[in-house]
Chain A
Amino acid sequence: MKKLINDPADVVTEALQGMELAHADLIRVHYDPNYIVRADAPVQGKVGVLSGGGSGHEPMHGGFVGRGMLDAACPGAVFTSPTPDQVHAATKAVDGGAGVLHLVKNYTGDVANFEMAAELAEAEGLTVRSVVIDDDVAVKDSLYTAGRRGVGGTVLIEKLVGAAAERGDDLDSLAALAERINGQVRSMGMALTPCTVPHAGEPTFTLGEDEMEIGIGIHGEPGRERLPLEPADRITERLLEPIIEDLPFQSGDRTLLFVNGMGGTPLIELYIVYRHAVEVLRERGIEVVRSLVGSYITSLEMAGTSITLLRMDDELVELWDAPVLTPALRKGV
């Protein structure tokens, strides 16, 4: 294992300390329990928007804390959901009297820990609503799985719902908006290489030089299908076609296309994927009106990409264009 770390046990804490030093103008970090809040939290009269999950997906979620996006993020251990006391403490820290919205990615651990945290907060008289995000088409949504995972769509939901909270939407409206976006966003990812969790010390799976994993998750968990490596255009089609068919996206749809890097893939390759994704969408009469290209929801040093497609409307375009000022995403300010 070759990593820029000190003791594997200190990875999350030391990274938080670095973030705090680098972005003191935007965020504050609380330790034990660990959570990040925007510098001016709690914002009185505004709904607090909170998310969290295992570490190792940076910049998600901590990098998205700030004006126009998240009020708080709770980082767990690497690839491990945060604990209820973290989420509970962060919920109290961002409650400005208008309630707190929990945006939860659909993983067994995340859902269970956020559920316990919401119960603790509600027992103290706070109002909490939770929306579970499950946009990954690689997983069959059936009684026979834990359901679809929350992946790339999470980044878009955090931006759009954060913008709506900033303009003053109430808790119920924000929860409804998050549900609505979750219903019209779909994602799928793939890996060229595995990743190594620091405390595990060895890769969570192995891939041959000429192999790739389609339908990969964001925790180094293997995907659904292992195939021989193919050119970027074919891989793009393998990811995009199930996405289009699942919703389904149709001719005339206006979309936001998000091509994400898994952590170890350079931007130059992501643009190659983006280019062909637009070609495929155009062929089907699907218009791309907004874009996001870069590594925003990662899996440590895994090489690979995920594609996320969101059906847009005028309101979502307006929310996407609204100012956002966070360590990892800033525009319009």
Chain B
Amino acid sequence: MTITSADVVRFVETYAAAIAEQKDHLTRLDAAIGDADHGENMNRGFQAALAQLPDVADKTPADVLKTVAMALVSKVGGAAGPLYGTAFLRAATAVQGKPELTGEDVVNALAAGLEGVKMRGKSDVGDKTMIDAWAPAVDRARAVLDDGGDLPAALAAAAEAAAQGRDATEPMVARKGRASYLGERSAGHIDPGATSTALLFAALRCD
């Protein structure tokens, strides 16, 4: 199975719909340990991205990803804008010029996105951030492909790993982002960024 631009567009549409539906939930999670804007910001960015998709739907997957990246960077602000924007931009760069993507390409793009988030956020696994959902998802997807599994199986495993990673942020004490100002008081809350990342991997499922 290969992934076309149309598939990438469908993924973005699915993710945007999930963000719109979960907007208030994301903002409530953010109010507990951050500044109550995550749902609003992500929704603004992905609605902007949706509006631009028709212009690039017939181009390469990288063009679609890059368009989403620029919409996020220019419309979201906060931490989520540059973090998700950088992730989509790095993913686009990883598959530059390819008309269709293999399973390996998709996982490489997801891994490149993760590296972008780590670089831009100066953060890593265990800091109670979106990385705690993204990193295990990439690991699981790669493991499934390495074991001979197909892309739908890899993305299904990634979605489950991301959801587990999201839940695993609950007891963590935040070391990055606004939640880190709370110190020990940040424990006991699920990280909103990890939650929006789990939604991203859920939207990637194609099984």
Measured CB to CB, the residues of A under 8 A from B are 33, 54, 76-85, 107-109, 112-113, 115-116, 138-140, 143-146, 149, 197, 199-200, 202, 204-205, 217, 219-224
Contact = CB atoms under 8 A, between A and B. Distances in A.
Contact of B178 (A83, A84, A219): A219
Contacts of A78: 37
Given A83-B75, A112-B79, A143-B175, A221 B34 contact: yes
B186 to A, nearest CB: 10
Interface residues of B, number: 35
SS of B interface (majority): helix
Interface in B62-101: 73-83, 85-86
B58 interface: no
| Residue with the highest number of chain A CB atoms closer than 10 Å, among B78, B79, B121 | B78
A116 B175 contact: no
B27 interface: yes
A83 B121 contact: no
A115 B86 CA distance: 12
A76 B75 CA distance: 10
B40 A200 contact: yes
Contacts of B85: 116
Contact of A145 (B76, B79, B81, B183): B183
A107 B82 contact: no
Contact of A220 (B35, B75, B120, B177): B35
Given A79-B35, A79-B36, A204-B36, A224 B77 contact: no
A249 B127 CA distance: 33
A115 B116 CA distance: 14
A112 B82 contact: yes
B177 A221 contact: no
A205 B28 CA distance: 10
A80 B77 contact: yes
| Residue with the highest number of chain B CB atoms closer than 10 Å, among A54, A84, A85 | A84
A116 B74 CA distance: 11
Given A115-B82, A139-B180, 5 more contacts: A81-B81, A109-B80, A109-B82, A146-B180, A200-B31
Contacts of B73: 83-85, 116
Nearest to B74: A85
Contacts of A139: 180-181
A199 B31 CA distance: 12
A12 to B, nearest CB: 11
Given A77-B77, A109-B78, A144 B180 contact: yes
B205 interface: no
Nearest to B32: A205
Contacts of A85: 73-74
A264 B79 CA distance: 27
Interface of B: 27, 31, 33-37, 40-41, 44, 73-83, 85-86, 120-121, 173, 175-178, 180-183, 185
A75 B176 CA distance: 24
A7 B54 CA distance: 29
A82 B178 contact: no
Nearest to B27: A200
B181 A146 contact: yes
Contact of B35 (A140, A143, A221, A224): A221
Nearest to B183: A224
A220 B73 CA distance: 24
Contacts of A109: 77-82
A112 B83 contact: yes
B8 to A, nearest CB: 23
A112 B86 CA distance: 10
Given A109-B78, A112-B120, A145-B175, A219 B35 contact: yes
B79 A108 contact: yes
Contacts of B182: 221-222, 224
A112 B121 contact: yes
The 5 closest A-B pairs by CB, nearest first: A109-B79, A112-B82, A145-B180, A219-B35, A109-B78
A200 B121 contact: no
B177 A199 contact: no
A57 B35 CA distance: 14
B36 A200 contact: yes
B35 A108 contact: no
B77 A204 contact: no
Contact of B175 (A112, A144, A197): A144
| Residue with the highest number of chain B CB atoms closer than 10 Å, among A54, A112, A202 | A112
13 contacts: A77-B77, A80-B37, A83-B76, A108-B177, A112-B83, A112-B120, A115-B82, A139-B180, A140-B183, A145-B180, A145-B183, A200-B37, A220-B35
